């Protein structure tokens, strides 16, 4: 690949000697010498962005001298200077759930540019793109030696259309590689193999140039690689597609929150416990739209796997990224994971030459700071609904009982005479709940008796990129299983257990340590290499368990080593979801009950009746460290990644036809040509005022992208299920919303269709419902289509942190296709706000203390928004008129969250892809 650098950058170019070779780089010190400002106190994360601007400085067409000087002003102003800049990441990372619709869009853009008289070959990634297929494997089979083989067979059977399409894309587009199914999770593959920390490429003049590894990814947990000092974050697929096609990312110079780490973790505390505490602290501090950078002497005691765990969960604490500067531990990890010695030498030389190295006295300017002594961290879980709901393990049982009290609103007796507790009397003591614990329902599963009740753990899953990338917590889980097995313990029969590592290296070192046998004995057999439970691919519970939960309205529980536990995400049968470390997942599988206090009560009893406590099976830090040091080797990584793009025999057998444009199969229910570019003219349009819009949904706080566009399974009675049934797709073949993201007809029917979403226009109703034009309750999709047929625009109202969670572009695409012109909320999460603008939907924030409650909104109002035509500027205050059902009106001021001039252009074009397509066609 050739990198295009700016035309005015020679004054900041310098050279370093590495391994006998001379390599050019863009020097921050040289920028200071050239009179552009003092950048010595910038955080390392911002220096990465500054270097990017130095490399692409072109006199002002995209990067000006004033843009660069703004970074010096940022430091002078104490970490504040929100100037708009153009940033160009080096590469793009995708997974298949978000990657399929991105490739669909690129294929549609090839059709679109030809219709505009342009060259289809202009629709090609200019930056390298890696797509890792990791989101499709589902846990149908578990707890048996054949689980992995069976799940892989079903994965290919369900997803062959999608995989054929992706393989076509690999052949049709330049700079586009696909990592086949069964390899690992994209973020772990990125961390262990793809990322290099420092890249080199030849520029347009043939000079070898070194520069920081940077990326954006179509998954919010792209941030994981910041643990390796690689600046990266999640964006929607539409923004990633624009970046692929050479469009710089328009952003404001962010604030950087410094998070000082001191001390070391105490005995028995894991990296998961640490990250759950960090999430709680940063959510409370408020870091949405900001960088977080970790520093302090405590990093000397923090292995890179732990850093990656913290960086991974940046979306959960709301930050754009959680960055760790380069130091000796960075080099150690690069060496352990099989990177070339020449690369490691380059990383060290470059970092020390250009001011990226974390020294003992590293103390840059930050916008704000907070501090954590690792020694204060205690074992914990988070739940039952949000990652930031941190609960110390000592309080977990009590907090769960409080949750049950709040869930059971009325103290009415159940059919068998048990008392359901409410919050008025507080949380009952364990003795008060003795009858409650006897269970609502009894039965037999797999030949073993069970009793289910509120709090029964029915899913225990070692899953997700967050923790399965970390050998310390994986080895700890294996040791818990070994010690439990030695005492004759196993999982409870109602618990669905699974192990889904993030890479094949994990399987290798668990086998080498003989720990996989112990995990297998407790039901944690390998089920696949992918996201599985964390993305909602937990698969069905055994029928008798599912029936028992639903017939008795039980609050069943999942415990997973993941990063997401939003409502309705993990399983339709499970209402309470808790994030925990892998060894705690194993412990909860043994206990089988969230009501048990693992710190004081026995998990189980031996065959002769002796109680077994958590401390009896918990490994020491020394045991874990010794296993990691002796078992996890450089050779494992080099061996497993030697043929990473080759795939197994199934992948190699996928046949495709080479063609410049895609031959859209009319009968496909997975891949359809989207309507975005059909009938598009060569010239941009204009932004129009919104007049007489109706309310499609009135939503509360923390509405996540899972609420807006769920990824999991759906029923035949839903609009998406009806659509597939009409096309002769049997319910067993529905797959999931995530796997159907290449078909806009399915996805628009699934928008706002989460089973736990609550539209406040309806009393006590869960799911994707609203009132239609006739005032009757109907599905959100059917109501939207009725309004569209009548030519009536729509708006959505929300609360705080609207659009939190995954970077899923379909949350914005679906909103657009339903005919929604504006989303009005108290605040927005970063990625979803950007996605809405990228799809031509305008996000607005309330001002002056207004919100849906103070305004007394019922959803029966009409809304008109003026000030969008003519001289509409970024972050404008515009008037909105709310007309109530009784005819009265109120005018309020809204803040348009269109943050930059470039975003104005996106809206004028109907979206970012339309903007890019028109520019490419004109060129």
Residue 567 lies in a domain: yes
Q: What's the pLDDT score for residue 172? A: 95
Q: Which of 846, 848, 854, 837 is nearest to 905 (CA)?
A: 837
Indicate the pairing of strand 877-883 with strand 889-896: antiparallel
Which of 86-95, 463-472, 481-490 shows the lowest mean pLDDT across its residues?
463-472
Residue 768 lies in a domain: yes
Kindly give, in sequence order, each residue whose CB lies less than 8 Å from that of residue 587, ignoring residues fewer than 6 positions away: 480, 598, 603, 614, 617
Q: Which of 336, 277, 346 is nearest to 305 (CA)?
A: 336
Q: Are residues 77 and 101 in the same domain?
A: no
User: What confidence tier does 431 reach under pLDDT thresholds 50, 70, 90?
Assistant: very low
Name the residue with higher pLDDT: 435 or 724: 724
In whole angstroms, what is the distance from residue 174 CA to residue 191 CA?
23
The pLDDT > 70 percentage for the chain reads 95
Q: 700-755, pLDDT tens digit by residue?
A: 999 999 999 998 889 999 999 999 999 999 998 998 898 899 999 999 999 999 99
* 452 class by beta-carbon count within 10 Å (0-12 exposed, 13-18 middle, 19+ buried): buried
Kindly give, in sequence order, each residue whose CB lies less than 8 Å from that of residue 644, ignoring residues fewer than 6 positions away: 179, 183, 189, 193
User: What confidence tier does 415 reach under pLDDT thresholds 50, 70, 90?
Assistant: very low
3-state secondary structure of 271: helix
When pLDDT is averaged across residues 387-416 and rounded to a whole number, the result is: 77
Q: Are residues 75 and 110 in the same domain?
A: no
> Among the ranges 93-97, 666-670, 886-890, which has the highest mean pLDDT value?
886-890
Average pLDDT taken over every residue of the chain: 92
How would DSSP label each residue in 429-444?
PTTTTHHHHT-SEEEE
Residue 621 confidence (pLDDT) above 90: yes
Q: 293-337, pLDDT tens digit by residue?
A: 999 999 999 999 999 999 999 999 999 999 999 999 999 999 999
Q: What's the pLDDT score for residue 410? A: 40
In whole angstroms, what is the distance from residue 273 CA to residue 265 CA?
10
3-state secondary structure of 176: strand
Q: 789-818, pLDDT tens digit by residue?
A: 999 999 999 999 999 877 788 999 999 999
Helices (H), 455-503: 465-468, 471-486
Kindly give, in sequence order, each residue whose CB lies less than 8 Å from that of residue 622, ignoring residues fewer than 6 positions away: none
Query: Given strand 13-18, what is the order of strands in its sheet?
Result: 2-3, 198-203, 208-212, 21-26, 13-18
Residue 441 confidence (pLDDT) above 70: no
In whole angstroms, what is the distance from residue 178 CA to residue 514 CA?
32
User: What confidence tier does 9 reach under pLDDT thresholds 50, 70, 90?
Assistant: low
In whole angstroms, what is the distance from residue 197 CA to residue 225 CA?
9
In whole angstroms, what is the distance from residue 560 CA to residue 488 CA?
23
What tokens appear for 779 in the block? 């599905």
Number of domains into which the chain is organized: 4
Residue 426 confidence (pLDDT) above 70: no
Q: What's the pLDDT score for residue 419? A: 43
Residue 173 lies in a domain: yes
In whole angstroms, what is the distance from residue 788 CA to residue 382 CA?
41
Q: Which of 322, 301, 318 is nearest to 374 (CA)?
A: 301
The pLDDT > 90 percentage for the chain reads 78
Question: Which residue segment(s) compose the domain that 515 sits in?
Answer: 439-635
Q: 581-610, pLDDT tens digit by residue?
A: 999 999 999 999 999 999 999 999 999 999
User: What confidence tier does 468 reach under pLDDT thresholds 50, 70, 90?
Assistant: confident
Q: Are residues 227 and 122 in the same domain?
A: yes
Contact 317, 220 (CB under 8 A): no
Residue 449 confidence (pLDDT) above 80: no
Q: Are residues 62 and 107 in the same domain?
A: no
3-state secondary structure of 611: strand
Which of 253-267, 343-357, 901-915 shows the lowest mean pLDDT across its residues?
901-915
Residue 764 confidence (pLDDT) above 50: yes
When pLDDT is averaged across residues 753-758 and rounded to a whole number, the result is: 93
Indicate the pairing of strand 611-612 with strand 604-605: antiparallel
Beta bridge partners of 862: 694, 883
Q: Are residues 738 and 871 in the same domain?
A: yes
Residue 407 confidence (pLDDT) above 90: no
Which of 235-244, 255-264, 718-727 shows the lowest mean pLDDT across its residues?
235-244
In whole angstroms, what is the distance from residue 681 CA to residue 918 CA?
9
Name the residue with higher pLDDT: 466 or 415: 466
Indicate the pairing of strand 862-865 with strand 321-323: unpaired
Q: Which of 469, 464, 478 is nearest to 527 (CA)?
A: 464
Q: Are residues 81 and 20 in the same domain?
A: yes
3-state secondary structure of 43: coil
Q: What's the pLDDT score for residue 28? A: 97
Q: 642: part of which helix (H) or strand (E)?
A: none
Q: Are residues 71 and 131 in the same domain?
A: no
Indicate the pairing of strand 84-87 with strand 21-26: unpaired
| Angle in degrees, CA 609, 611, 614, rounded to 5 | 150
In whole angstroms, what is the distance from residue 147 CA to residue 535 CA?
19
Residue 408 confidence (pLDDT) above 80: no
Last residue of a domain, one of 43, 70, 87: 87
**What is the number of alpha carbons within 13 Å of residue 854 lying toward its C-beta?**
11
In whole angstroms, what is the distance from residue 394 CA to residue 379 CA?
8
Backbone dihedral angles phi then psi of residue 252, each to the nearest 5 degrees: -95, 145
Q: What's the pLDDT score for residue 440? A: 52
Q: Which of 592, 583, 593, 594 is nearest to 617 (CA)?
A: 583
When pLDDT is averaged across residues 88-112 and rounded to a whole number, the result is: 92
Kindly give, in sequence order, each residue whose CB lies less than 8 Å from that of residue 77, ignoring residues fewer than 6 positions away: none
Backbone dihedral angles phi then psi of residue 527, each to the nearest 5 degrees: -110, -15
Helices (H), 632-732: 634-640, 649-652, 705-708, 719-726
3-state secondary structure of 920: helix
Outline where DSSP puts E strands in 324-389: 368-373, 380-382
When pLDDT is averaged across residues 525-539 and rounded to a whole number, the result is: 88
In whole angstroms, what is the distance from residue 889 CA to residue 122 CA?
50
Q: Which residues of 839-868 are buried (b: 16+ CB within 10 A; e: fewer)?
A: bbbbbbbbeeebbbeeeebebebbbbbebb
Q: Residue 568, by phi and psi: left (phi above 0), alpha (psi -120 to 50) or beta? A: left
Residue 281 lies in a domain: yes
How would DSSP label each residue in 500-523?
--SBHHHHHHHHHTT-HHHHHHTT
Contact 89, 215 (CB under 8 A): yes
What tokens appear for 745 in the block? 């007809």
Q: Are residues 65 and 96 in the same domain?
A: no
User: What confidence tier does 433 reach under pLDDT thresholds 50, 70, 90?
Assistant: very low
Residue 388 lies in a domain: no
In whole angstroms, what is the distance from residue 587 CA to residue 600 CA?
13
Q: Which of 314, 313, 215, 219 is nearest to 257 (CA)?
A: 314
Residue 448 confidence (pLDDT) above 80: no
Q: What's the pLDDT score for residue 113? A: 93
Residue 649 lies in a domain: no
Kindly give, in sequence order, each residue whose CB lies less than 8 Å from that of residue 584, ignoring residues fewer than 6 positions away: 272, 379, 381, 393, 559, 598
Q: Are residues 628 and 732 in the same domain?
A: no
> Among the ranges 232-241, 481-490, 645-654, which has the highest mean pLDDT value?
481-490
Residue 656 lies in a domain: no
Q: What's the pLDDT score for residue 91? A: 96
Q: What's the pLDDT score for residue 181? A: 93
| Angle in degrees, CA 129, 187, 833, rounded to 5 | 75
Q: What's the pLDDT score for residue 464? A: 86
Last residue of a domain, one of 635, 651, 675: 635
Q: Are residues 45 and 105 in the same domain?
A: no
What tokens appear for 106 in the block? 């690129």
Q: Are residues 266 and 137 in the same domain?
A: yes
Contact 366, 43 (CB under 8 A): yes
Q: Which CATH number characterizes residue 342's domain?
A: 3.30.499.10
In whole angstroms, what is the distance from residue 502 CA to residue 528 CA?
9
Backbone dihedral angles phi then psi of residue 145, each to the nearest 5 degrees: -65, -20
Q: What's the pLDDT score for residue 779? A: 97
Q: Which CATH number characterizes residue 777's domain?
A: 3.20.19.10
Q: Are residues 71 and 127 in the same domain?
A: no
Q: What's the pLDDT score for residue 429? A: 43
Residue 382 lies in a domain: no
What tokens appear for 660 in the block? 């410049």
Q: What's the pLDDT score for residue 418? A: 44
Q: What's the pLDDT score for residue 897? A: 97
Q: Could you tell me the CA-to-CA distances from 415 to 430, 440, 494, 799, 910 in Å, in that order?
A: 21, 9, 23, 38, 57
Last residue of a domain, one of 327, 361, 376: 376
């Amino acid at each position: 690949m050739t990198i295009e650098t700016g035309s005015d950058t020679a004054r900041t170019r310098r050279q370093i000697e590495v391994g006998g070779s001379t390599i050019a780089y863009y020097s921050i010190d040289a920028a200071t010498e050239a009179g552009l400002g003092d950048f010595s106190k910038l955080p390392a994360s911002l220096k990465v962005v500054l270097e990017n601007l130095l490399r692409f400085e072109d006199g002002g067409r995209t990067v000006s001298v004033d843009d660069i000087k703004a970074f010096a002003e940022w430091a002078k102003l104490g970490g504040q200077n929100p100037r708009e800049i153009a940033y160009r990441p080096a590469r793009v990372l995708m997974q298949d759930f978000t990657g399929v619709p991105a490739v669909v869009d690129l294929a549609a853009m090839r059709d679109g540019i030809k219709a505009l008289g342009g060259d289809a070959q202009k629709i090609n990634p200019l930056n390298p793109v890696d797509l890792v297929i990791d989101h499709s494997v589902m846990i149908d089979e578990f707890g048996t030696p054949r689980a992995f083989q069976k799940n892989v067979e079903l994965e290919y059977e369900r997803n062959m259309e999608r995989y054929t399409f992706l393989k076509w894309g690999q052949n049709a587009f330049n700079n586009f590689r696909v990592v086949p199914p069964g390899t690992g999770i994209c973020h772990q593959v990125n961390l262990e193999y793809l990322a290099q920390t420092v890249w080199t490429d030849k520029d347009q003049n043939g000079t070898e140039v070194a520069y920081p590894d940077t990326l954006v990814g179509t998954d919010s947990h792209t941030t994981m690689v910041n643990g390796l000092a690689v600046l990266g974050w999640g964006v929607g697929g539409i923004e990633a597609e624009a970046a692929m096609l050479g469009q710089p990312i328009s952003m404001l110079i962010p604030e950087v929150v410094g998070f000082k780490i001191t001390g070391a973790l105490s005995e028995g505390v894991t990296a998961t416990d640490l990250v759950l505490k960090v999430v709680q602290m940063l959510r409370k501090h408020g870091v949405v739209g900001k960088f977080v950078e970790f520093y302090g002497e405590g990093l000397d005691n923090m292995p890179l796997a732990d850093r990656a765990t913290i960086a991974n969960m940046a979306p959960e604490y709301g930050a754009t990224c959680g960055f760790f500067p380069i130091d000796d531990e960075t080099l150690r990890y690069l060496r352990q994971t099989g990177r070339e010695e020449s690369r490691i030498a380059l990383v060290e030389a470059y970092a020390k030459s250009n001011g990226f190295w974390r020294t003992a006295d590293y103390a840059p300017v930050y916008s704000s700071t907070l501090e954590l002594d690792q020694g204060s961290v205690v074992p914990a879980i988070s739940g039952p609904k949000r990652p930031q709901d941190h609960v110390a393990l000592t309080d977990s049982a009590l907090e769960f009982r409080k949750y049950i009290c709040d869930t059971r609103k009325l103290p009415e007796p159940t059919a068998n005479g048990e008392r359901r507790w409410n919050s008025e009397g507080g949380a009952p003591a364990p003795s008060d709940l003795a009858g409650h614990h006897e269970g609502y329902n009894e039965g037999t599963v797999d030949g073993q008796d069970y009793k289910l009740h509120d709090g029964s753990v029915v899913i225990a899953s070692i899953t997700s990129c967050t923790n399965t990338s970390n050998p310390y917590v994986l080895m700890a889980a294996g040791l818990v299983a070994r010690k439990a097995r030695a005492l004759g313990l196993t999982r409870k029969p109602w618990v669905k257990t699974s192990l889904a590592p993030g890479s094949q290296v994990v399987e290798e070192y668990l086998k080498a340590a003989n720990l996989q046998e112990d995990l297998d004995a407790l039901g944690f057999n390998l089920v696949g290499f992918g996201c599985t439970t964390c993305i909602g691919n937990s698969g069905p519970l055994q029928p008798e368990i599912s029936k028992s939960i639903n017939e008795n309205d039980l609050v069943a529980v999942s415990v997973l080593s993941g990063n997401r536990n939003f409502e309705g995400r993990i399983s339709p049968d499970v209402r309470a979801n808790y994030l925990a470390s892998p060894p705690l997942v194993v412990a909860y599988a043994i206990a089988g009950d969230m009501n048990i206090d693992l710190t004081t009560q026995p998990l189980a009893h031996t065959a002769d009746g002796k109680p077994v406590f958590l401390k009896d099976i918990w490994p020491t830090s020394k045991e874990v460290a010794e296993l990691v040091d002796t078992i996890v080797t450089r050779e494992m990584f080099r061996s497993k990644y030697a043929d990473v793009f080759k795939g197994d025999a199934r992948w190699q057998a996928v046949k495709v036809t080479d063609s410049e444009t895609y031959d859209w199969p009319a009968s496909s229910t997975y891949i359809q040509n989207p309507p975005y570019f059909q009938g598009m003219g060569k010239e941009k349009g204009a932004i129009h005022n919104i007049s007489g819009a109706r309310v499609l949904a009135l939503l509360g706080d923390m509405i996540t992208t899972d609420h807006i566009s769920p990824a999991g399974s759906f029923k035949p009675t839903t609009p998406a299920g009806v659509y597939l049934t009409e096309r002769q797709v049997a319910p067993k073949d529905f797959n999931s919303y995530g796997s159907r993201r290449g078909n806009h007809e399915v996805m628009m029917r699934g928008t706002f269709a989460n089973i736990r979403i609550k539209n406040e226009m309806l009393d006590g109703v869960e799911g994707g419902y609203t009132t239609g034009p006739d005032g009757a309750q109907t599905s959100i999709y059917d109501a939207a289509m009725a309004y569209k047929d009548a030519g009536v625009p729509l708006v959505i109202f929300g609360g705080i942190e609207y659009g939190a969670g995954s970077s899923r572009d379909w949350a914005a695409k679906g909103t657009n296709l339903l005919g929604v012109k504006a989303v009005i909320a108290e605040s927005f999460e970063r990625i979803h706000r950007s996605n809405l603008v990228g799809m031509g939907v305008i996000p607005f924030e309330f001002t002056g203390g207004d919100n849906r409650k103070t305004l007394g909104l019922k959803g029966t109002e009409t809304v008109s928004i003026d000030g969008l035509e003519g001289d509409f500027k970024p972050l404008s205050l515009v008037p909105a008129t709310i007309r109530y059902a009784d005819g009265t009106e109120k005018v309020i001021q809204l803040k348009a969250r269109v943050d930059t001039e470039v975003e104005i252009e996106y809206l004028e074009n109907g979206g970012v892809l339309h903007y890019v397509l028109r520019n490419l066609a004109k060129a």
